[in-house]
Homo-oligomer: A and B are copies of this chain.
Amino acid sequence: MPMSKQGQDPKLWGGRFSSAMAAVVQTFNDSFAFDQRLAASDIAGCLAYASALQGAGLLDHAECEAISSGLEQIGSEFSAGSFAPLPSDEDIHTAIERRLHELAGSVAGKLHTGRSRNDQVATALRHYLMQVTNELTARLRSFQAVLVNRAESHLGIVMPGYTHLQRAQPILFSHWLMSFFWKFNRDIDRLAGAKMRASVCPLGAGALAGNPFDIDREHMAAQLGFAHAAENSLDAVEDRDFVVDFLYAGALLQTHLSSLAETLILWSSEAYVFIRLDEAYCTGSSLMPQKRNPDMLELIRGKSGRVLGHLTGMMTTLKGLPSGYNKDLQEDKEGLFDVIDTLLAEIPIAEAIVGSMMPNAAHMSSACCASMMATDLADYLVLKGIPFRDAHHIVGAAVQQAEQTGVSMDKLPLSALKQIHSAFDEDAASVFDVQTSIERRQAKGGTGRRAVLCQLQEADSILTQASEDKSHHG
């Protein structure tokens, strides 16, 4: 037996239906609660469509005017927060159409001529997402600028570079900072690719078969800022690649943020004391008065799950859908919006944390122990003509001896080294200088100061170029 019905305003698609929807079913079906943020994009799409209908002779000038000015008023109502939704508003699109009826009268009923919610919704969502992508890119560029800035300020700080979470070789702190610049650069590139593929306008695809009124789809696309109109009406209404592309770009960006967060959580802890986080990004404990927890960083790390989950979820929803629009696609929004909100909030926080943290140069430097120069010692033997693989074994023996005798490697007497291999000489001691070790690595991309300066120059020119592109293309 069907659920009990309750009287309500009729749905716009209801001509052939004799019974109203059950209330619980309506809630399950409706999306107004979360798709309101598409208001401006939907209104832009409606304006473009009205103008195209006029172009195709389906609206006269006055009708188009009436519709357009009604739409603009609705836009103002949303901006002002004064738009009053009704319980019968199934989604943002029917809410706007309903309100347009109130404002413009029966001519509002002409706006949906040849249009379907299938092309309408896809257009609004793409339009919205293109703008969000711009905003997200801008925030990443700002974060990159902070990284460059800090890297430039701290060129004098040396620290251990790690592999396997163990001290490996000394590097410049600036070199570490810049390692994230390039990750975010790839993220921006992924977002740009996603935006390019989103920049295809479905409007005029109808429900699936195309528009019967010889409407100018390329003109509408251009008017709305799309690169071009979709080439196939079926694909236009069922394609959600642009949603998945964004979720993916966000999920990999999140992975980068999670690594940054993990690293800073470690470095700000008592075990390292490499970094002091600004108090503004820490919280305390309800029980332990001494605590100063890096909660923001932990949340950033933790939110990787949420974003990856939304990506996985959307792809699972798409899996195995038969050709044509299926209502399953309504599931494209909530996860997407949550990812957008998460990323837009998170990046400025990550930027602010990195921008305000205080490096502890003394601790970083003193963590650079002599055994981190073991490779330099092997290189020393290489320059004396010993094949690297042999040099590696010889130095391995020295490491072992240092450990067994409980001294630091640089304190092994020359006699002990000579006993391991005769090629060791007085000058072997010089390899244990941290600065020397760093300065040897000047090949492109290395941690030597000169190489890092080149890297910074390249980064600067990327940011400058991005800033120029933005001011030209908006």
Contacts and interface: CB of A to CB of B under 8 A. Distances in A.
15 contacts: A1-B355, A12-B392, A13-B284, A106-B387, A163-B207, A168-B285, A179-B323, A182-B235, A211-B446, A217-B445, A231-B455, A255-B318, A262-B321, A266-B266, A301-B328
Contact of A181 (B215, B232, B233, B284): B232
Contacts of A298: 164, 326-328
B255 A315 contact: yes
A34 to B, nearest CB: 12
Contact of A24 (B233, B278, B349, B387): B349
Contacts of A207: 163, 168-169, 285, 287-288, 375
A21 B179 contact: no
A345 interface: yes
Size bin of chain A's contact surface: 35 or more
B284 A11 contact: yes
A112 B389 contact: yes
Given A1-B355, A25-B281, A169-B207, A259 B176 contact: no
Given A21-B280, A168-B208, A331-B303, A16 B315 contact: no
A95 B183 CA distance: 32
A115 B282 CA distance: 21
A136 interface: no
Contacts of A307: 313
A378 interface: yes
A296 interface: yes
What DSSP secondary structure best describes chain A's contact surface? helix
A441 to B, nearest CB: 4
Contact of A305 (B167, B286, B313): B313
Contacts of A448: 210
A239 B185 CA distance: 12
A302 B283 contact: no
Contacts of A464: none
Interface string A232-265: 1111111101001100100110010011011101
A42 interface: no
Interface string A15-30: 1111111101101110
Q: Most chain-B Cβ atoms within 10 A of its Cβ — which of A21, A27, A168, A382?
A: A168
A388 interface: yes
B293 A444 contact: no
Contacts of A440: 212
A320 interface: yes
Contact of A280 (B3, B216, B235, B238): B3
> Closest 10 interchain pairs by CB?
A15-B396, A210-B446, A309-B313, A302-B328, A305-B317, A109-B387, A13-B284, A109-B389, A298-B327, A210-B441
Contacts of A19: 279-280
Contact of A163 (B189, B291, B313): B291
Nearest to A196: B189
A388 B114 CA distance: 8
Nearest to A178: B232
Interface string A162-200: 111111111100011011111100100110010011000
A372 interface: yes
A45 interface: no
A458 B316 CA distance: 32
Interface stretch (A68-76, A124-132, A267-275, A466-474): A267-275
A104 to B, nearest CB: 11
Interface string A103-127: 0001111111111111000000000
Given A168-B291, A279-B18, A287-B117, A233 B445 contact: yes
Contact of A169 (B20, B204, B209, B356): B209
A361 interface: no
A356 to B, nearest CB: 5
A146 to B, nearest CB: 10
